[in-house]
Structures are given as C-alpha cells and as structure tokens.
Amino acid sequence: MNQEKDRKYRKEHDTMGEVLVPADRYWGAQTQRSYMNFRIGTEKIPAEIIRAFAVLKKAAALANVELGMLDEERGKRIAQVCDEILDGKLDGNFPLAVWQTGSGTQSNMNVNEVIANRAAELTEGRVDFHPNNHVNCSQSSNDTFPTAMHIAALAAVEDRVLPAVKSLAETFDDLSEKYASIVKTGRTHLQDAVPLTLGQEISAWAEMLKKDGEFIAAAAEGLRELALGGTAVGTGLNAHEKFGERAAEIISELTGRRFITAPNKFHSLTSKDQIAFVHGAFRTLASDLMKIANDVRWLASGPRCGIGEITIPENEPGSSIMPGKVNPTQCEALTMVAAQVMGNDVTVGIGASQGNFQLNVFMPVIIYNFLQSAALLSDAVNSFNEHCARGIRPDEQRIAENLEKSLMLVTALNPHIGYENAAVIAKTAHREGITLREAAVRTGLLTQEEFDRYVKPEEMAGLRHGK
C-alpha cells in the first residue's frame, strides 16, 4: 500500500487525452488505460508473445528502413530496444491481461509504447519516437498479433513439444526392445485376452508418440505463414507492397526458422484455423498420453492386490495416513495435464470460430491456451519420462503367474477342436477353479500331451516368427 502511495507518476497522452503512468515504467497512455480497465483474473499476456513481438517489431523496423518507410536512425534504435526486450532487460513493462480487446490491440500498443519511450531515452531525447507513426509503421494490431501468435506457437512446437515427445518415444523403444521376449497375458475390455509380449505392449506406446509427433509437425507447417503486411483488413493499406515479404525474410533470419508471408492476408487476419489445427494435434497427443499413463498405472497397480506386472519408481510417500503407501503420481500428473489440454482445445476451437468478417477477436485467449498446452505437455512428458517411464521394470514372477491362470490361452485350441469345444474347456476351468490343462483332460476333449503341444504362449505371441 505504501509503495503504491509513494509511487511517482508522469503524464502520457494519446488521442483520448492525458493519463498518469508510473514513472519507472516505459509504457504509455494506451497501456495504462488497458491496465486500469481490465482488472480481470491473474492471466497475463504470455512472455513468449512479448518476445515474438520484439522479433517482429525489429524485423518491421529493418524492413521499413530498407524500403524507405523509416529513417535509419529510428530503425536502428527500435531494433536496439527489441534486442533489450529479447534479453529480458525490460521485463516488468508488459503488464496487460489476457482478458482485453480480442484483437490484442492494447498489447501491440504496449510493445509500441515501451519501444518508443526507451528508444527516445537511448537518444537522450534527441530523436522523437512515436509509438504509432514509427514503431507501428506499416503495421496494424490486426496483423501483428496473429504474426506474434505464429512465431511463438512454432517456437513452442519445435523447441518444447516435439523434443519431449521424441525423447519419451525413444524411452519406450528401448524398453520394448529390452522386454521383447517376456510373454504376458493381453487384455481387452479390461478382461483377459490372448498373449503378447511386454515389448509388444510397450511398442504401441512408442508408436502412438511417433505418430503424434508426425501429426503435430505436419500441422505446424501452417504456422510458417505470417499475417504481417495485411495491416487492418488484409489489403496492406499504408504498408509498402514488399513489406510483408521482406519482414518475413528478416524474421526467418532472426529466429532461425522458416517463415513466409501469408499468400492471402484476408485469411490470415480473420481465420485462426492453422493454430486451431495444431492444437487439435495437441489434443490427439493428450488423448494418447492419457491412455499410456492409465495403462502404466493399471499394470503397476498393487503392489499385492492389483495387476502388478510392472513396477515403477517410488518417488515420494503416497499417503498422509497409510504408512508405506506409494502412488503412481507421475501418471496422475500426466493425466491431469491431458485433461487440461483437452479443455483448452475446446476454448481454442470456440475462439477460432469467432472470425467475424475481417478479424478474429478471440486471439489473446487462443494463444494463451495454446502456449499453456504446449508448456504443460512438454513439461509433463519430460517429467513422466524422467521420473517414471525410464524406471519401468517387469515383475516376471507376477507376469508368469497371470499368464498361467489366463483362460484365454484356450484360443490356441480353436483350429484343433473348434471354438465351441474350446469354450467348454474354458468354462469348465473357470467354474471348477482348475487349470485349462486339467479341464481339457477332465472333459475328454484332449490329452495332457495334446494340450501342451497346441498351447504354447510364446508362439501365440508370435515369437516363433521373430516378432
């Protein structure tokens, strides 16, 4: 309270008049108005978007200098401030809420005002910098915010999500190979099924993740198209005709990623289909992660009264009242993340549907949810990999016991005695609490030697074929 009371302010103005702004911040009147008018929630415009804005503002300034739209001195100083933003030197100057104008106009102006005031300071007031005339030259919030979205989203996909998914897939590949010869009972409908190997079971997890990575990477190609150059409605009004193309080339150079100017700016301003498509692939990944984590905690359930065919690392005590209890906490964290991402996908999808006429007006909430999903997925997958997946081990005794008890081994008898006779053996074994072998002999359908010749779990799992 005292700090706020003692805080010093300066006057800034915009087209609506003067506003008091904290003297120790570089933002201007439009930022302050937004800060005062949208005290909603705790969610702020993500730092990744601010960094993406710094990249695109630097690229815009350099392109504008080349194209004769901006003088060299101003272009140089704008680029210099953008580098300061990227280095984190101006953190604390970007306070705006996600819950603001749906175009992100106020965040665009926040960046413009900070750059303008800091650039003027660097010249000791010798050069005037206007947030609209100079920093926002050849631009509109309507094309800069979607451009920042694509820059930040592609970075999140390539630097965070895909590496995490690849690493976990590699872990499962290693486990699949390591446990390729351990034959166990399969399960369908949560009921006993015919055998497979533990390696085969794990190979499905690995393949899911590989497919998910392919889906995400393919979908992310659309993020390479940048709206910059479309200005207000897609016509490129007040921008040089080569601005969009040149700015995209410079952004590619600055980021080390391939970007191109969107071929149809009317589309890139009003539609968020490309980013929604990528998030749809995130949802698919979340679905597979939910399935994998559930498989792992089912197979590790117990330790004495569950399935217990695998063990997972014991990372922390699991109960405040039950001594010695350990829970599958990494599975639980991963499934909660999956649920959050699925929920985020609903928000992204609804937001993407709100492209009224020439502009989508749900952009801040779309990118907030997208980047949250990317961060949660990458962090949770890495955590699950490090603290759970790499430590998965088989309990071979339990696996052998369960395999021996499985009634579905009877399926191997179908070609020899027929489905209905095999069912008689299975039902007899289950009803009388005896083994399949004993039931086969008791029913008179097979001798013990015939049963052992036909029922070979390793062959049922395909091992004789090298699978």
Instruction: Report helix angle 105-122 to 72-86, nearest 10.
Output: 110
Instruction: Report d(CA 300, CA 310) in Å as an integer.
Output: 5
Residues with Cβ within 8 Å of residue 441, at least 6 apart in sequence? 447, 448, 451
Q: Which residues are catalytic?
A: 189, 319
Q: Specify the DSSP element, H or E, that contains 22.
A: strand 17-22
Q: What are phi and psi of 14, to 5 degrees?
A: -140, -165
Give the C-alpha separation, 150 to 20, whole Å: 34
> For the packed helices 329-352 and 363-387, what is the interaxial angle rounded to 10 degrees?
160
The DSSP secondary structure of 347-408, one letter per residue, reads HHHHHHT-EETTEES-HHHHHHHHHHHHHHHHHHHHHHHHHTGGG-EE-HHHHHHHHHH-GG
Contact 185, 410 (CB under 8 A): no
Cα separation of 200 and 181, whole Å?
Answer: 9
What is the DSSP track for 390-454? GG-EE-HHHHHHHHHH-GGGGGGGHHHH-HHHHHHHHHHHHHHT--HHHHHHHTTS--HHHHHHH
Least Cα distance to 137 among 232, 271, 38, 239 occurs for 239
Alpha helices in 221-260 (DSSP H): 243-255
